[in-house]
Amino acid sequence: MGLKMRPFLAIYCLGLATSIVARNVITHLPTHPDHPDFGVASELQPHSLLGQLVKRDEGQRCGPGVGSCSSGNCCSAVGYCGKTGSHCDASVCQAAYGHCEAAGTPQGPPTDKIDRPTLGNLPYAPRSIRSCNVPGTIALTFDDGPNMYTSDLLDLLDKYNANVTFFITGSPGAKAHNIGKLDSEPSASILRRMLTSGHQIASHTWSHQDLSKISPEDRKTQLLSNEVVLRNVLGGWPTYMRPPYSSCTSESGCADDMGNLGYHIILYDIDTEDFRNDDPATIQKSKDIFDSNLDRGKASERSWLVIAHDVHEQTSHNLTEHMLKKLAADGYRAVTVGDCLGDPQENWYRMDDRVTGFPISKLLSSKSSMAASRDGKCANPTVTCTGSNFGPCCGSNKMCGSSDAHCGVGCNLRQGQCRLPNNGPLYSAPKAKLGLKNMPTSPKSESTTLSAVSFTAALVFLAGAALTR
């Protein structure tokens, strides 16, 4: 295992440097190998690694501008041909320049043509989210699964009445303990159980590659393939994702690509480092990290976004119960990431309307649709001004009305009607035509100018769409 890890560590050090530059996008450094195969990263010294790497891989170079590997060789993430796990594992190898183990592609119709409206008030990529904002909540998150420990974890969560979020890696080749295809049993039942038990399902990409280091095409495939396999089981796919190794820089184009695909990038503010401590003798370190963070504040004022990995035995069988007890004792509730951010459940997934009767559509159709505002306010994203007594438009001040201030620049098309430019007619968003980036629901902190520009662009687009019908 020690030998297998080294190429990864070198990339990981380079990744650190890149992401210091990319501070605006992901201020959290990727101190997180976030993959079971690379569990003891901290024990090795970065400066010696590059030397060892060159000595170790005697094969030819490969990669962008160099070329592909021949005769079944895989191109490692650092650009060497070979046949070992560190060349060929789906999570590290460069599929465009040689063979890769079990990355493959899922069966079923692609999702790439389906509209991806930005819904709700939560920032979408390129911005990333590292913290919860509802006091008294803790979002425990579990990456890389499901695997053989996940069912036990679900039993435990039921016992404690806790909701959590699972960041799912779809490719069977990228799992620590392979339990087969995600859309076959037993994985499919585990996924359905997650959803019906009140947990949130999010994407951790198809095969756990470093999204900052692969081509834009491969990056897109990493998300779209995971959408297909999750859709095969659930009828839709998540709008929340976490980049493997927390790596998704703006320089590489990754952060913008995630925005174009309609994703929220979710990081964390407590790293349990459970991947380093998967041993009865050391898991106490992870418990201590969790406890000492909670001890820094009160539940009435704080909330936390915690990363762990259900694919580790000690995490599923030991650490999680400790966290559930501690958080309850301190007065916190264990909720999903969506709940700890105040984002309603209907914004967590995108439906594939070509399939019906799947778990996600049942879950969402059991919820009532948007209600007309009764008090003239439209701050709550499930409230619409359409049909209210205060006016049809939800303005940037989160109030319903019919003046330019409500219906013009900053008007929220998802929660009512808006007016077309130059005092044109009121316009409602046809659901199918909402597949736009930068809708007026963009994050509050964005500048007015930017919102105005994107709002106008959206209206012009919608006007065009209406005219060409």
Nearer to ligand NAG, 37 or 278 (CB): 278
Of positions 46, 110, 280, 443, contacts ligand NAG by CB under 6 A: 280
| DSSP notation for 117-131 | ---SSSPPTTSEE--
Specify the residue, 283 or 307, whose C-beta has the smaller distance to ligand NAG: 283
CA angle at 258 for the pair 257 and 259, rounded to the nearest 5°: 90
Ordered alpha helix ranges (H), 309-415 = 313-314, 320-329, 337-340, 359-365, 404-407
Q: Which residues contact 38 (CB under 8 A, 6 or more apart)?
A: 5, 8, 9, 12, 275
| Among 56-64, 221-229, 259-267, 276-284, the segment contacting ligand NAG (CB under 6 A) | 276-284
Minimal distance, residue 161 CB to ligand NAG, in Å: 6
Catalytic residue selected from 32, 99, 199, 309: 309
- Asked if 78 and 11 count as a contact pair (C-beta separation under 8 A), the reply is yes
Residue among 57, 143, 210, 257 flagged as catalytic: 143
3-state secondary structure of 461: helix
Looking at 187-295, which runs of residues are DSSP E strands?
Answer: 200-203, 236-238, 240-241, 264-266, 270-271
* Least distance CB 404 / ligand NAG (angstroms): 39
Count CB atoms within 10 A of the CB of residue 131: 16
Closer residue to ligand NAG in complex, CB, 341/462: 341
SS3 277: coil
- Amino acid at position 251, single letter: E
Angle at alpha carbon of residue 170, lines to 146 and 148, rounded to 5°: 20
* Count of Cβ atoms closer than 10 Å to residue 54 Cβ: 12
Q: Which stretch binds ligand NAG (CB under 6 A): 34-42, 259-267, 301-309, 331-339?
A: 331-339
Chain positions 159 to 198 lying near ligand NAG, rule: CB under 6 A, are 163, 198
Cβ proximity to ligand NAG, 290 vs 455, nearer residue: 290
- Closest separation between CB of residue 365 and ligand NAG, Å? 14
Residue nearer to ligand NAG on the CB measure, 284 or 438: 284
Give the distance from CA 349 to its chain's centroid. 11
Provide the 10 A C-beta neighbour count for residue 133. Answer: 12
Binding span for ligand NAG by CB under 6 A among 5-13, 63-71, 279-287, 441-449: 279-287
Q: How many CB atoms lie within 10 A of CB 40?
A: 14
Residue 287 near ligand NAG by CB under 6 A: yes
Q: Does 283 bind ligand NAG (CB under 6 A)?
A: yes
Toward ligand NAG, which CB reaches closer, 143 or 339? 339
143 is catalytic: yes
Q: What is the largest CA-CA distance in the chain?
A: 74
Using Cβ positions, the residue closest to ligand NAG within the complex turns out to be 198
Look-up: residue for tokens 């990333």? 128
Among 73, 150, 165, 318, binds ligand NAG (CB under 6 A): 318
Among 333, 398, 406, 419, binds ligand NAG (CB under 6 A): 333
Q: What is the C-alpha separation between 275 and 455, in angstroms, rounded?
A: 44
* CA distance linking residue 57 with residue 379, whole number of Å: 58
Judged by CB under 6 A, the number of residues near ligand NAG is 10
* Smallest separation (angstroms) from ligand NAG to the CB of 198: 3
| 31 near ligand NAG, judged by CB under 6 A | no
Strand blocks (E) in 71-130: 74-75, 81-82, 128-129
Min separation Cβ 199 and ligand NAG, Å: 8
Q: Return the residues of window 334-363 that contact ligand NAG according to CB under 6 A.
A: 335, 339
Based on the residue annotation, tell me whether 309 is a catalytic residue of this protein: yes
Query: Is the CB of 246 or the CB of 314 nearer to ligand NAG?
Result: 314
Q: How far is CA 78 from CA 10, 97, 223, 387, 389, in A?
A: 8, 12, 22, 58, 62
Least distance to ligand NAG, CB of residue 279, Å: 8
Contact status: 216 vs ligand NAG (CB under 6 A):
no
Is 277 a binding residue for ligand NAG by CB under 6 A? The answer is no
Instruction: Provide the CA 153 distance to its chain's centre, in angstroms.
Output: 21
Closest CB 288 distance from ligand NAG, rounded Å: 9
Q: How far is the CB of 160 from ligand NAG (least distance, A)?
A: 9
- The distance of closest approach from Cβ of residue 339 to ligand NAG in the complex, given in angstroms and rounded to an integer, is 6
Closer to ligand NAG by CB, 4 or 177: give it: 177
What residues act catalytically? 143, 309
- Which residues of this protein are in contact with ligand NAG, per CB under 6 A? 163, 198, 280, 283-284, 287, 318, 333, 335, 339
